[in-house]
Amino acid sequence: MAAPKTQGAVAGLEEQDLESCSGVAGVDCEESNSKDCILEPLSLPESPGGTTTLDGSASVPCIFCEEHFPVAEQDKLLKHMIIEHKLVIADVKLVVDFQRYILYWKKRFTEQPITDFCSVIRINSTAPLEEQDNYFLLCDVLPEDRILREELQKQRLKEILEQQQQERNDTNFHGICMFCNEEFVGNRSVLLNHMAREHAFNIGLPDNIVNCSEFLCMLQKKLDNLQCLYCEKNFRDKNTLRDHMRKKQHRRINPKNREYDRFYVINYLKEAYPELWWKSLL
């Protein structure tokens, strides 16, 4: 999950001619490396739910116009901004809070011209002038963008740690063992420890897990759909699945399933502090 810095890699834009504009990407390199060039600390949008549609689901506005798109359809917004406004955002998959990211830039773009922030990519640079097209590239070569991306990661880590703390102290947890149907109330660790001890089902230490109820719900759903948690094969009935998981020692989760990453606090730490994480391995 550590974010590789593939600066300026924009899929589908070949024959690009990167041209630095007034004081952005590449020009003030030495200056860019120091934090002095950021005149004031970034102020992140307070509430991620800055805009809400009528049905209550969150939406994200276009940076340039009044169009809105549901958060879940961020690709549509990105496409809209490329086609209508010629803006390309690099490595957008690595932005951990897309809504806050967009709201931040929407505000900044009203304050300063786009060329203060974006590099210009000239498409078709060898073609006659009238066939050439300029696109604007927003990417983390720009110190302000890089810091914004890092701040969003740290902000998310903070929220995750708060959530983890709350779950750690919560004594109102209520859950049912997915193997023997025994009911547990109190702290989530009681159920997790029971499953580890009684059924050799170990998903990690309770304190390393976040959004535990959601995690268990997801696992329960898979079992309800008669799917083995480890090999993810489907079975015709409950008993066959139960026997299979016991006999084959498949009472564990598939470590390759990336769906589970977001339930482990370590992944948020790695993301927010990649440099610290790598150091700890040496």
Beta carbon of residue 206, minimum distance to Zn ion (angstroms, whole number): 16
The answer to whether the CB of 5 falls within 8 A of the CB of 140 is yes
Q: Which span (19-27, 122-130, 244-252, 271-279) binds Zn ion, by CB under 5 A?
A: 244-252
Of the two residues 24 and 228, which places its CB atom closer to Zn ion in the complex?
Answer: 228
Beta carbon of residue 165, minimum distance to Zn ion (angstroms, whole number): 27
Of the two residues 122 and 194, which places its CB atom closer to Zn ion in the complex?
Answer: 194
Q: 58-87 mask for Zn ion (x: CB under 5 A)?
A: ----x-xx-x----------------x---
Beta carbon of residue 219, minimum distance to Zn ion (angstroms, whole number): 13
Q: Which two tokens stand for residue 129?
A: 């002038």
CA distance linking residue 17 with residue 39, whole number of Å: 29
Asked if 5 is part of the footprint of Zn ion (rule: CB under 5 A), the reply reads no
Of the two residues 180 and 217, which places its CB atom closer to Zn ion in the complex?
Answer: 180
Total residues binding Zn ion (CB under 5 A) = 13
Beta carbon of residue 193, minimum distance to Zn ion (angstroms, whole number): 11
Beta carbon of residue 184, minimum distance to Zn ion (angstroms, whole number): 9
Of the two residues 31 and 224, which places its CB atom closer to Zn ion in the complex?
Answer: 224
Q: Which span (13-21, 55-63, 134-142, 168-176) binds Zn ion, by CB under 5 A?
A: 55-63
Half-sphere exposure of 263 (CA within 13 A, CB side): 20
CA distance linking residue 167 with residue 158, whole number of Å: 14
Of the two residues 69 and 268, which places its CB atom closer to Zn ion in the complex?
Answer: 69
CA distance linking residue 82 with residue 150, whole number of Å: 24
CA distance linking residue 219 with residue 164, whole number of Å: 19
Of the two residues 42 and 231, which places its CB atom closer to Zn ion in the complex?
Answer: 231
Segment 125 to 184, residues that bind Zn ion, using CB under 5 A = 177, 179-180, 182
Segment 222 to 241, residues that bind Zn ion, using CB under 5 A = 228, 230-231
Asked if 266 is part of the footprint of Zn ion (rule: CB under 5 A), the reply reads no
Could you tell me the CA-to-CA distances from 280 to 115, 150, 260, 276, 277 in Å, in that order?
40, 20, 23, 6, 5
Q: Which of 122, 156, 250, 262 binds Zn ion (CB under 5 A)?
A: 250
Q: Which span (48-56, 119-127, 156-164, 245-253) binds Zn ion, by CB under 5 A?
A: 245-253
The answer to whether the CB of 13 falls within 8 A of the CB of 123 is yes
Q: Which residue has the tokens 């020009």?
A: 27
CA angle 241, 244, 249 (to 5 degrees): 130
Of the two residues 15 and 259, which places its CB atom closer to Zn ion in the complex?
Answer: 259
The answer to whether the CB of 161 falls within 8 A of the CB of 265 is yes
The answer to whether the CB of 45 falls within 8 A of the CB of 172 is no
Asked if 28 is part of the footprint of Zn ion (rule: CB under 5 A), the reply reads no
Helix crossing, 98-111 with 143-169: angle to 10°?
140
Instruction: For the chain, state the CA radius of gyration.
Output: 24
Query: Where along the sequence are the contacts to Zn ion (CB under 5 A)?
Result: 62, 64-65, 67, 84, 177, 179-180, 182, 228, 230-231, 250
